[in-house]
Amino acid sequence: MRFDSKLLLLLVAAFAVAAHAQQPKPLIVSEDQPVRNDDGGQAFILDRNLPPLSLLGAARKGAISEPQQLSIFAGRGWSDPKLSDREATLGSLLANASDESQLEALHALGIKNRFGPTINAERTDIDAGVFRDLDAQRLLVTMIDSGTLGRPNGKAIYVIFLDSTLQSTLGALAAGKHYVAYHSSFTASGLNIRYVVVPFESDAPAAYDIALHAFVAAATKPAHLVK
């Protein structure tokens, strides 16, 4: 039996097209394009290619001019004394900004006070494993209700720093693959809670840059976009 070479090529091409069509489309997300968090609300992610702070946007209506950082260091890894200096730096993101371009950007973004009070708390009792967005929300509600963290006041931004044993997920997205941090908000007991989740980053300077970008993004995103 003799095969027509042109027919064979057409069949190969048809199979290739069919196989390509069955493959899932790549997931494309960006900080300017919200994704869904676990409760159906909006979240905004940051990928590893961080833009300069100045490109996060000019001062906008709804931005928090004097954001207050309330931090939770989640996971047993934060009990390691070797991470104490890093924890101190991450716990006061704005106060530790020293690069001239960062300082100029913060001023341009409308952030007036870098030295406001901060609150840091550890939760080293959280077991290793997957840390979902809903886990973040439940942790915040628990710690706010217990009085460990201050209540939302229109200026508060809660930052959850995960240790290396906790794998962050956000809906269908996974830290490391789709994002290096994200920010979102939710309502509990009539209060709007803005929060940031920062997965562990082994490189300390990169960890600071990621956390600072996520915190500033959360502070400057208009409130109606993070509900």
Chain segment 6-16, per-residue pLDDT in tens: 555 555 455 44
113: closest CA among 219, 214, 196?
A: 219
pLDDT digits (tens, 9 = 90+) for 75-132: 999 999 999 999 999 999 999 998 898 899 898 888 888 998 899 999 999 999 999 9
**18 in a domain, yes or no?**
no
What pairing do the DSSP bridges indicate for beta strands 191-198 and 156-162? parallel
Task: Give the chain's domain count.
Answer: 1
**Which is nearest to 199 in space by CA: 55, 52, 28, 75?**
75
Indicate whether 178 belongs to any domain: yes
Note down the domain range covering 141.
Answer: 29-225
Query: For residue 217, what is the enclosing H or E element?
Result: helix 204-220
Q: Does pTM top 0.85 for this prediction? A: no
Question: For the chain, how far is it from start to end, CA to CA, in angstroms?
Answer: 67
Separation between Cα atoms, residue 186 and residue 43, nearest integer Å: 10
What lies within 8 Å, CB to CB, of 127 at 6+ separation is 76
> Which residue carries 């789709």 as its tokens?
178
Q: Residue 46 falls within a domain, yes or no?
A: yes
